Chain A
Amino acid sequence: MKYTIAVPEYAPPEEGTNAPFSDIPLRYSSHRLFSKWQLLALGVIGVAIAISLVSAFTLTLKVGISLLSLVYLLDLLFGFFLIYRALRKDPELHISAEQMTRLKNKKLPLYTILCPLFGEAKVVPQFIKAIQDLDYPKEKLQVILLLEEEDDETIAAVKNSSLPRHFEVIVVPSGQPQTKPRACNVGLLQARGKYVVIYDAEDIPDPDQLKKAVVAFSHLPKEVICIQAKLDFYNRSHNLITRLFTAEYALLFNLTLLGLQSINGPIPLGGTSNHFRTFALRRIGGWDPFNVTEDCDLGIRLFTQGYRTAIIDSTTLEEANSQLLNWIRQRSRWIKGYFQTLIVHTRTPQHFFRSFRTIPHLATFLLVVGGKTIAVVVNPFLWALTLVYFLGPEEFQLFVKSLYLAPIFYIAAATWIAGNILNVLYYLLGVLQRGYPELVKFFPLVPLYWLMMSVAASKAFYQLLVKPHFWEKTIHGFHLEDQTKVRWRFLPERRYEKEANSL
């Protein structure tokens, strides 16, 4: 099999941009996190809180707790609203079999598939097979494998593979930041397709996904420049972590994002299976190489520039992270990226208000990207406070009670009870919507999963301050190792073998 290795020339950032291989304007880049305005605002707020604490300690805490309680209440109501909308409206784009059969292969546009690979030698064969299985004319496909210059192992694995003719290989030159979005931007420079999609190395998309995306793009208004396929896992029964991870994805892609779509709100994209109109993606500057959750940032950025995302009824199967430390690494990167996105899109007040156009959209962004991320950091402290409140000395109970105005106390208590109950319920509904009733029995463990998130969030918060652009690499391929091992499990595993063998 013939293939080429191309190293594009390194393009130094132009005036006003600061992203290698990208035209992304500085104001959208996470290269420098906080703007002067943000630092000033944070400084003023910090000093005000400090003075207030010194001069009126209890009152300051009362006001702070009241505000926090109201934010949690708002988040609770908004979350319920989104889930209700998703269940009621079914906003997902359904492409019928009839629409698919009407497609003529000759008229299909050229489609570019980007696949960034770093340390993914093990899953290369699996990826090649998955792409080969796509129901799309091969002559209309441009598959670009994006390798990193220093990643000898993957380069060797690709060299040793028999790549089909429509595959291209680009070795991305060494440089900083060494991130997935940087590689994607290199791929975007070389993309010739009308549409472009990004798949991770371990992905197995539905074979008809590209065709569905073509149909969807042709029926959707021009401002919809991104179609997000739903993500799911092929190794969901691997262990407890993968089961809970599957439940979380089921909730995210089958309810939360659909709820956001139903209100035409900003949608933080999932890391893979994002299909774009290529010209529009170039127009908005591609990915931010400095943002470690570039998908979330891109989803928000395209929204702020007047574009929209739609969710399609097609699924890409991925490998769920099955190792706790690996999971924490991956999650801490995601959360760090959410923080980056929050900071980038709130840099200046006038830009912030102008970009989101309406108050509901602005609030949606703050709650979905900001609120939920900050909540993951704050929640353990509040849980600890609640525990101490119930189990601690009476004096402490009285002190805590004294910090709440009576109505706020009830709001906080009701939000605490309803919030925890409903958030577990959403997981249940998510897995049912996804069609995994066997996962329902694990619902009592969801709070443990939240605890894992909080651990990752603490790490993310720390890294945001000390190494904001560091890319915590997720290791893939554990599911392949597992196929050759005799595994000891205490959970029923009937499904796993079937799934693994079908790969």
Chain B
Amino acid sequence: MKKKLIHSKDWGVYLVASIAVVAVLVADGWSYNHNLIVGYGDSASHLVISRRVIDNLTPGLGQLGSSWLPALHVLMLPFIWNDFLWHTGLAGTIVSNLAYIGAAIYGYRLVRMFIDSKSWALAVVISLFANPNLLYMSTTAMNEALYVFSVLGSTVHLLKWSRKPKQYLHLLIAALLAFLTAFNRYEGWFLVIGQAVVVYAVGWKQLGKRYGFAGAIVFAYIAWLAPVLWLGWNLLIFSDPLEFLHNEYTSRAQQSELEALGQLPTKGNILVAAQYYYAAMTNVLGRISTISLLMLVVLSPLLVVLLRRRFQKEDSYSDLLIGYALLIPGIFLVYTLFSGVTALHLPDLVPFRMYNIRYALFVFPALVFFAAYGIHLAYKIWRPLAVVCTLIIILGMTLTWTIPALVLEEGKENARSRTQSILAAAALRSQYDGGKILLDSRAPLLEAAGVGAGNTIMWQSQLPLKSFIHEGTQEIWERALANPASEAHWMILRNSPGVIESNDTVAAKVLDSEQILSQYDLAYKDGALEIYRLKKSY
């Protein structure tokens, strides 16, 4: 029994977990010292949304909803109530840290399924997870680390299930992790659909058609529940199940503004869209790794067919199917770039700025899978070739440290562009003497930042969120918009003509009304950003 226990434990898991803990803590320290824990504007919004559940004029889970899926916000709830963790953004850091550590463990388990040697697998996993872009995303309140964790986890359990298809615990865990994926990112919706199809195919191949169908039903029943619940939730909260597609702050709405400015070069050209995504991958994952990944995607099935005798009892087709599903988010993103729903900007391509470069991380799980699978294939062909493959992967990932980590750079740029909001938040905080503050939290209040700038100001002001009247405060918001003076002592809005003005509901209501404006004094102005204070006579 003792012997079996020792045999069943893989010391590599503990080592990977320990290294991941050290790596992510060092990354945390670096981010904290450089004020980049909340670098991206989106991370501030994520923090605010989560905090609003407990600290709000109308607290409750009803605050979750609209454009972003809620997994990260829900997972931050155990930490966000703490003022220190909230103000510093560490509430999100904790979640992303844990996701990174879990992802590294699952990454190791995945690699070990194809590589027998623990130390060999360790070398591969360490080189993959030492990616500076992924490390930075793991220090902040963003959902990429969580995505990598859940996708790698579901892949590992699907692979285990495919090897013993009557052990349904693995299928169940895979489905639960897929649920988390689909509750975290919209890309995940397409991934889990693909995974359900893969479960059907693998189950059919292993046990017959009926088992394939039954397995797919079990998987889909859990994993597809995320989209169903989300649609239901939106119906309940907004009376529109597709509110996240219809509101004025959706990705689609933002991109139409970019298109008007001529900053959507990928729209309508699938090759350009693919080129942009490829460029993002080479910047985030490294050029060698990206080329290796694409070559393996193309060559793997050919090699499996040619080498089928050497695989003997292995079911390489099932493995490959599970691996190919991981490419779905990447393909989906290229399609969204082509259709103009998503924008991706890189510094060396038109319009020569940075935007959404982190999306390249959505193929990171595919890279982990194909790296391991590639080495496995090479090992079957000629053992020294496996060593060469491993060295290429390690070299490719090491080289990502020699080029600028664009995901981090984008975070830095976001943080730098926030000077206006820092000043506005400081002004608000210094002048604030009580009363409610009316603002549209999703509005593009600042010159540089996009939508959600109101959230940034709310977070930076360090005022209790109970002080704010925003679009998530239900009837109070409606009453305040109808008659601001009756509810709000303060108003924050963007006063500038242009395409984005219409996205600020407060500005749209107030600026045309002489009567409302006459009730307030302008307390602060920086560019188009204005803060109004209710006159004492009211």
Contact = CB atoms under 8 A, between A and B. Distances in A.
Interface in B166-209: 166-169, 172, 207
Contact of A88 (B169, B213, B218, B222): B169
A21 B225 CA distance: 55
A429 B210 CA distance: 14
Nearest to B209: A437
B217 A428 contact: yes
B296 interface: no
Interface in A379-412: 406, 410
A441 B214 CA distance: 8
A443 B221 contact: yes
A452 interface: no
Interface of B is mostly: helix
Main secondary structure of the interface of A (DSSP, over half): helix
Contacts of A65: none
A437 B172 contact: no
Nearest to B228: A421
Contacts of A84: 169
A437 B214 CA distance: 5
Nearest to B208: A437
Given A406-B60, A410-B61, A438-B210, A433 B168 contact: yes
A417 B214 contact: no
A432 interface: yes
Contacts of B169: 84, 87-88
Nearest to A409: B60
A440 B168 contact: no
Contacts of B448: none
A34 B229 CA distance: 45
Contact of A440 (B59, B166, B217, B225): B217
B136 interface: no
B362 interface: no
A421 B167 CA distance: 21
A48 interface: no
Contact of B218 (A406, A429, A438): A429
A103 interface: no
Interface residues of A, number: 19
Contacts of A410: 60-61
Interface residues of B, number: 20
A421 B172 CA distance: 13
A410 B60 CA distance: 9
A437 B210 contact: yes
A440 B214 contact: yes
A113 B529 CA distance: 88
A59 interface: no
Contact of B168 (A421, A424, A432, A441): A432
A20 to B, nearest CB: 46
Interface string A429-468: 1011100011011010000000000000000000000000
A77 interface: no
B214 A432 contact: yes
A158 to B, nearest CB: 42
A417 B222 CA distance: 12
Interface in B296-314: none
A189 interface: no
Interface centre among B60, B214, B221 (most CB of A within 10 A): B214
Contact of A443 (B60, B172, B217): B217
Contacts of A438: 210, 214
A425 B218 contact: yes
A189 B382 CA distance: 74
Nearest to A439: B214
B477 interface: no
A421 B210 contact: no
A234 B214 CA distance: 21
Interface string B321-362: 000000000000000000000000000000000000000000
Contacts of A437: 207, 210-211, 213-215
Q: What 9 pairs between A and B have smallest CB-CB spacing?
A: A437-B214, A87-B169, A440-B214, A437-B210, A437-B211, A440-B217, A428-B218, A432-B168, A429-B168
12 contacts: A87-B172, A406-B60, A424-B221, A425-B221, A428-B217, A428-B218, A429-B218, A431-B214, A437-B207, A438-B210, A440-B217, A440-B218
Given A410-B61, A440-B214, 13 more contacts: A421-B221, A424-B221, A428-B218, A429-B172, A429-B218, A431-B214, A432-B215, A437-B211, A438-B210, A440-B217, A440-B218, A441-B213, A441-B217
